[in-house]
Structure 1
Amino acid sequence: MADNNNPFSNLEAKFKTVENKPKKEKVPVDFKKHYKSFITIFLAFIVIVIALANVYVVKEGDYKIIRQFGEVIGVKYEPGVYMKIPFVQSVTTIPKYQMNYKLSEKEINTKDKRRIIIDNYAVWRVVNPKEMIKSAGSLVNASARMEEFIYSVVRSELGQLEYNDIINDENSSRGSLNDKITAEVNEHLRKDKYGIEVVDVRIKRIDLPEENEQSVYNEMISERQKIAQKFLSTGDADKRRIEAETDRKVKEMLATAKKEAAIIEAEGEAEAAKIYNLSFSKDPEFYSLYRTLESYKKTIGADTMIIIPSASPYARILSGYLE
Structure 2
Amino acid sequence: MNNKVFSLIVGLLLIVFVASNTLYVINETERGVLLKFGKVVNADIPPGLHVKLPLMHEVRKFDSRILTLDARPQRFLTVEKKGMIVDSFAKWRIKDVSTYYTATNGEEATAVRVLDQRINEGLRNGFGERSLQEVVSGERDELMQNLTESLNKLTRERYGIELVDVRVKRIDLPDQVSDSVYSRMNTERQREAREHRSKGREQAEVIKADADRQRTILEAEAYRDAELLRGEGDAKAAAIYSAAYTQNPEFYSFVRSLTAYKDAFSNKGDIMLVDPDSDFFRYLKDSTGKKAQP
Q: TM-score range by the shorter chain?
A: 0.5 to 0.7
Partners of 2:145 and 2:28 in 1: how far apart? 28
> Considering only aligned residues, what root-mean-square deviation do their CA atoms show, in Å?
4.6
Superposed displacement of residue 157, structure 1: 6.3
Q: Percent of aligned pairs with the same residue? A: 25
Tell me which residue corresponds to 2:44: 75
Superposed displacement of residue 206, structure 1: 2.2
Tell me which residue corresponds to 1:207: 172
Tell me which residue corresponds to 2:242: 277
Does the CA-based 8 Å contact 2:33-2:40 persist in structure 1?
A: no
Matches within 5 A, 1:10-21: none
Does the CA-based 8 Å contact 1:110-1:163 persist in structure 2?
A: no
Matches within 5 A, 1:93-242: 93-110=61-78, 114-130=82-98, 132-133=100-101, 139-140=108-109, 142-144=111-113, 146-147=115-116, 148-149=118-119, 152=122, 156=126, 160=130, 162-163=132-133, 166=136, 173=137, 177-178=140-141, 180-192=142-154, 194=156, 195-242=160-207
Question: CA offsets per residue over residues 178-207 of structure 1, 9 Å max, x none?
Answer: 5x4553344224434615444554433322
Partners of 1:279 and 1:92 in 2: how far apart? 129
Superposed displacement of residue 102, structure 1: 1.9
SS in structure 1 at match of 2:62: strand
SS in structure 2 at match of 1:281: helix
Does the CA-based 8 Å contact 1:131-1:193 persist in structure 2?
A: no
Does the CA-based 8 Å contact 1:182-1:198 persist in structure 2?
A: no
CA gap of 1:297–1:102, structure 2 versus 1, over 3 A, is farther
Superposed displacement of residue 95, structure 1: 1.1
Q: 1:61 is matched by which residue type in structure 2?
A: T
Which structure 2 segments of 5+ residues have no match? 1-9, 284-288
Question: CA offsets per residue over residues 146-180 of structure 1, 9 Å max, x none?
Answer: 442465257636954544982xxxxxx45x945x4
Does the CA-based 8 Å contact 2:22-2:52 persist in structure 1?
A: yes
Does the CA-based 8 Å contact 1:110-1:160 persist in structure 2?
A: yes
Which structure 1 segments of 5+ residues have no match? 1-41, 167-172
Partners of 1:65 and 1:53 in 2: how far apart? 16
Question: CA offsets per residue over residues 214-257 of structure 1, 9 Å max, x none?
Answer: 33333343334334444444444444444444434433433333
Residue 266 (str. 1) matches residue 231 (str. 2): yes
SS in structure 1 at match of 2:278: helix
Tell me which residue corresponds to 1:63: 31
Does the CA-based 8 Å contact 1:111-1:163 persist in structure 2?
A: no
Superposed displacement of residue 120, structure 1: 1.3
Higher RCO (CA 8 Å, separation ≥ 6 residues): 2
SS in structure 1 at match of 2:28: coil
Does the CA-based 8 Å contact 2:21-2:52 persist in structure 1?
A: no
Q: 1:71 is matched by which residue type in structure 2?
A: V
Question: CA offsets per residue over residues 253-307 of structure 1, 9 Å max, x none?
Answer: 3333333323332332233233223323323455567678879999999799999
SS in structure 1 at match of 2:234: helix
Partners of 1:275 and 1:227 in 2: how far apart? 70
Partners of 2:32 and 2:272 in 1: how far apart? 132
Tell me the matched-pair count. Answer: 270
Partners of 2:88 and 2:65 in 1: how far apart? 20
More displaced stretch, 112-121 vs 297-306: 297-306
Superposed displacement of residue 118, structure 1: 1.0
Partners of 2:146 and 2:251 in 1: how far apart? 110
Larger Rg: 1
CA gap of 1:182–1:160, structure 2 versus 1, over 3 A, is closer
Question: CA offsets per residue over residues 96-154 of structure 1, 9 Å max, x none?
Answer: 22322122323334466532111112233334434545777654454445442465257
TM-score norm. by structure 1 comes to 0.61
